[in-house]
Structure formats: structure tokens, C-alpha cells
Chain A
Amino acid sequence: MTEIIKVDGLVKRYKELIAVDNFTMSVKEGEILGLLGPNGSGKSTTINCILSLLEYDKGSIKIMGKEMSPKAYDLKAQIGVVPQEIAVFESLTVEENVDFYCGLYIKDKALRKKYVDEAIDFVAIGEFRKFRPNKLSGGLKRRLNIACGIAHKPKIIIFDEPTVAVDPQSRNKILEGIKELNDNGATIIYTSHYMEEVERLANHIVIIDKGTAIAEGTVDELKNMIKTGELISIEVKGLDNKVVDKIRDLPNIFRVEYEEDILKVEAGNGKHNVLDIVNLIQNEGYAMRKITSEQPTLNDVFLELTGKALRDE
């Protein structure tokens, strides 16, 4: 796949504070790149630099092989942005808002009308097209925000935390829509601190913390970077400390906790981790109630790489 965005050695300072520190990433045509990091990690600053909204101190940003700058109008025409904040005019209707923003890119009236209709249908707010935004729910406003950013059918779409404060139903619709946009050929950069969303959407993930890319790869590649392979939870009553120690001594087990009748075990990648533990507990004569086994999440990856959870801040 062709490299469509290349960020190389990006540095952005705010006086003493280094917001982005030697950040490098590349986005390939047709992929969904997830930019994952906690609040204040430098995601939005990086995006603003890519969009030439912010002047950066060092590094280079190339889009489709050309240097991005405030006057790179040909490149800007290929980009759609869905900002974190709902950027629509309260005194214009849904349809007028989409038409206004689409009009910044598309001059042909007939084509623009077609695009506006398609964008409204795409985010499924057709029945509200004559409504003003203040009459819409939070989720519908978010969908309008998306329609305004994608109506001109850009090749690259940047979503900056588009699901903040959105109900689960609307969130699902938004994520499905993003997937569909990607299926239709758009390259997408998706920034979020919701690891489940990034995990669900992205083909390629860059984890950013304190302005630096600390890891990147596919979901599996990232999970393989850490030693935790499996999180096992077993409900068992009155487990003796000696049994807990025996579990701890099992191969491939590196962390065991037992509190309030729940045994929590972190195991490395292995095929029989659950079986080994279950057999040991049964042989010791204890009855088990509920057994679960989970793969590590991106939060576990982040936790292991940085020592803090994604949503700590």
C-alpha cells in the first residue's frame, strides 16, 4: 500500500512544554490508523500540525508525497476533518450546515446537492434535515458533525475523538459508519482514548504518550509486545494460601491475586494455562463457581508500557 501521510520527527513546543516530541508515523492508503493515547498525550496537537493549523518546531509532514502547509490548497481539498467539538452553526438547519461546509470544497451546485443528500443519508439524519442543531440529541449532533466533515468525499478523513459523550447506540452507528467510509476507499486517522473503539476499528495503531510514539503495530502485534497473554479469573471459596502459592509456582504464571473469593491470574502466552490452574484447584478439593479467561486489552498494553492506565488522566 502507498504511504499517504508521513510524519517524520515532529516536534511541537509550547514555551517550556514539549507537546510533541520527535513523533514519527506513517499512514498507508486505505487503512484506518488509530492514534491512541490518554488525554493530554499530544494526539490533537499532532493532528493540528498535520492539518497545518499549528506551526511546528521541527520535523516534516508530507501528504500524498507533498509537503503540507497552510497554502497547500490542493492537499486540503483531499482532507476531511471531524473535530472533537461539535462545529456546526446553531442558526442553520442540518441540511444548510452540511451544504455550507461542503460548499467550501465543492463549487458545482448540482454535485454538491447530491453529496449533501448522500452525507445526510449516510449518517442517518434524513428525517431531521430541516431541524436546527439545538433540536437534536447529543448523538444526532455528533452525526451531523461527521456529515459536515465527510460530505465532500475526501480521500483522507481525520476523526478527532468523535464519540466523546455519545450514548452507546449512537457510538455503534458512528463506528459502523467509519468502517463503511473506509470500505468505500477513504483513509482514516482515528484518535481516541477509548481503547475498545481503536481496537475495533484500526488496522494499525500508534500508541502515543507525552508526545512520543511508544509503540505501533496491529492489535495483535501490540498485544504480543507484552508478557501478559491471558487474564484468568476464578471464583472459589476459602482458598488456602498454600494453594495460591502452588498456583504461583505453575509454569507461565507471573502474577496471582486472591481477594474476596476471586482468584485473578495473569499468565503468559500458553495453550493450557486455564486447564493447569483448574486441575490444581480441583485436586486440592475446592469447588469452583465461575471461570473466565480474557485476552489482554490495549489498556493492558499501555499499562505495561507506561506503568499507568489509559484513563488515569
Chain B
Amino acid sequence: MYKYFLRERLRNRNFIFWCLAFPLALMLCFHFVFGNLSTSTEVTTLNMAVIYEGTDSMYNRSFETMVDGLTEEGSNGEEALFKLNDYSKAEEVKEALINNDLDLAFKVYDDKVEVLISKDYSDMDIAVGKAVADTFMNNYDMMATAFEENPQKAMELISNLGENLDFTAAKKSEFAEETPNPYIWYYYSSFVMGICFNAMNGVDMVANLKADAGYHAVRVSVSPQRKLRLIISAYCAYLTIALGINVIQLLIMKFALNVPLGGSILKLVAFVLACNLFALAFGVVCGSIMKGTIDARGNKITAIIMTSVFLSGEMVAQLPGMLERSVPIINDINPATVMNMALFRLAYSTGDFDFYINMIKIVLMAVLFITISVLILRREKYASL
């Protein structure tokens, strides 16, 4: 039975599409839209020069002070953001940019700062240059006032400005070795969506084992097989396929899309196992209690999954954060959000606490739904045909 349940699932195009192909297709779309995750998070020291075109000494001095702060190494041994290169003429700077000897340059006027980029510029060069220029221009009025009132304090303020640049979303102390890319959530969400679609397998399991839900189940129900044996065979077969699919997805995520997945394979396996068990059992329970044809039940489950995945931030990554502020209970009970959070914490959190909290939620939900599903399928002696 296990063998045929397995074979039947493997050849089921619908299942393979929703659980394997669709999430991967979304991830690939994100990859092409958002770019390579590994390169976009790297901030290396950039070769930079400054050209002062203006006559306002206060403006020039303030910018110089800020840039000086960004050319120093961090107290934790972090690399400096810039290496300042001396050029006497603007033409020399332009030539250095064309020759790629410089990554970027700032042109400081009396009231604005312009960013010049090299011939082979990267997205990071633009992002950093723009962040520095914008931060300076946005804060200059405050700095000028501070200079008039307390020059010493103003110097401190300007040199600290660089630390507040917003091209890095989080401080290193909160996260492990890597800095999370804001788009990473979409990849996790797509992966979790694939797992959630495993609930469709649960519905099909109902069609195969519950006589009032499918014609196959009539034949299975009149056979001398014990229900529990059938249930265990089906669970094992469906879980095997789901795990196989997840392994493929995780390998692609890790090695082709550079999505961070944390360092613990054991925890990752535990996570995937618990999530799939929950999704399957959830599908069985919903498929059993819903009315209508098996296709209609499948459609209803799809709607539930889509809603759950949407609320977890599949389309709008900020949505869970917004819900956390207004109705946090939704994040707590939405399986897709809990799974996303567990995966995110597994990849980024320095401590295990947050990961385990989410895992406990998933395991509890899985145990609850598995118990209900077995009771429904096993204890129902008679079909309600």
C-alpha cells in the first residue's frame, strides 16, 4: 500500500505543481526581481573621493567630518565603509571612476551633495552613496544649528550620523553572522506555502480512506484491512514525498538562490517534518469535516492555505509586522506565519529560544490535528454515504 500511495502521489501532477513547482517558480521570480541575496547583503570597503565645489566652509567641513567617521574601523573590528582617496582635481576623480580605480565619489556643493559612480558600478555603490548623501543633506540644518550652539557636540553628532545610515536594516548584535535581507521573507514564505499545500494530500487521503468521500475509499473500506494500518501507510507515503520535495527545494534555495537556512541540519529536518505532519493532518481534518465533493473540499482548503500564506507575508512582507501591532493573535494562530517565523529564526537568530517557541507551536498543532485526523478516520466504522 505504501508503495502504491507513494507512486500515485509522485504521478499526481496537481500535487507536484502546487507543492514543488509553484513555490520554486515564485522563488525564481523573486530571485530575478530582487537579485542575488548573497551579493546584495555584502558591504565591503569602498574606494571613495570627495570633490568640494562649493564655497560654504561650514557645509564642506560638516561633510568632511561625517566622511571621516565612515573611514574609521568599527569598535568591533568591522571594516570601514570608505577608504578616502586624495585627488586634487575633479578631472582626476572622473578618470579614476572611468578606470574603476574608485567605486564612487561625492561632489559637495553649497547646498547639496551629488554622487558620482564608477563605470562598473554595483547596486551597493549606489545604495551606499545615496544613503550617505541623503543622510547628510537631511540632517545638515540640525548640524548647522548645533555648530552655532555647541561646536564640540556638533562634531560628535556629525561623526555619529554614519552609524544611522539605513542601508543595513539591523544591527549585528541582534543577528548572527549574516545581516537579513529584507526580501528573504518572500523566499521563506514561498517554501512554507509549498509545505502548506501538503494539506491537499490530506484531502486526497480522505478520498482514499473515507468511504463517503471517494469511490476508492469504498473499495478500501470493504476490504479486510484495518483502518489504522491504512492510515499509517498513507501518512508515511505522503510524508516521504513531501520531505523529498522539501529537500529539493532547500537545496535549490541554499545553493542556487543563496537563501540562508541556518547552520543546524537537525533543526531544519525537525522543522520540515513537524510542518509537513501538521499540514497533512490539517488537510485530513478539514477534508473530513467539510461537505461537498472531494474537489470542492480541495478548493476550500486551497482558499484557506492562500489566505494563511498571504497573511504570513507572501505578497506583502510587512503584513505580519502590521498585524503584530494591531491584531497579534492572528500571527500567533496563523500556521504559515508561525512556520515562517520558525524558519527565519532558524536562519538568523543567535539564540535558540525564538526558534523553539515557534517549533513548540507547530508541534502542538501537529499533534492536535494528527490525533483528530486518526480519530476521525479510524473510529468511523460506518460511512455516511
Contacts and interface: CB of A to CB of B under 8 A. Distances in A.
A89 B220 CA distance: 12
Contact of B211 (A53, A74, A85): A53
B385 A100 contact: no
Contact of B1 (A51, A70, A103): A103
Interface size class of B (residues with CB under 8 A): 20 to 34
A37 interface: no
A177 interface: no
B223 A149 contact: no
A110 to B, nearest CB: 16
Nearest to B225: A104
B385 A54 contact: yes
Contacts of B219: 81, 83, 87, 101, 104, 148-149
A79 B222 CA distance: 8
Contacts of B173: none
A116 B91 CA distance: 87
Given A83-B215, A91-B12, A48 B220 contact: no
A248 to B, nearest CB: 51
Given A71-B381, A83-B215, A89-B216, A76 B222 contact: yes
B223 A104 contact: yes
A68 to B, nearest CB: 11
A231 interface: no
Grouping DSSP codes into helix (H, G, I), strand (E, B) and loop, the B interface class, with mixed when no group exceeds half, is loop
Interface in B366-383: 381-383
Given A73-B226, A103-B1, A53 B12 contact: no
A223 to B, nearest CB: 34
- B7, B222, B226: which has the most chain A beta carbons within 10 Å? B222
Contacts of A85: 215
B222 A92 contact: no
Nearest to A75: B224
Grouping DSSP codes into helix (H, G, I), strand (E, B) and loop, the A interface class, with mixed when no group exceeds half, is loop
Contacts of A148: 219
A83 B218 contact: yes
Interface string B1-45: 100100110011000000000000000000000000000000000
B221 interface: yes
Interface in B214-255: 214-216, 218-226
A96 B6 CA distance: 12
Given A53-B211, A53-B385, A87-B216, A92 B224 contact: no
Contact of B224 (A74, A88, A91, A99): A74
B218 A87 contact: yes
Nearest to A82: B219
Contacts of B4: 89, 92, 96, 99-100, 103
Contacts of A103: 1, 4
Which 8 A-B residue pairs are closest in the complex by CB-CB distance?
A87-B215, A104-B223, A91-B11, A73-B224, A55-B382, A70-B381, A77-B224, A76-B224
30 contacts: A48-B383, A48-B385, A52-B222, A52-B381, A52-B382, A53-B211, A53-B218, A53-B383, A55-B381, A55-B382, A69-B381, A70-B381, A70-B382, A76-B223, A81-B218, A83-B218, A85-B215, A87-B218, A89-B8, A91-B7, A91-B8, A92-B7, A92-B11, A100-B4, A103-B1, A104-B1, A104-B219, A104-B225, A148-B219, A149-B219
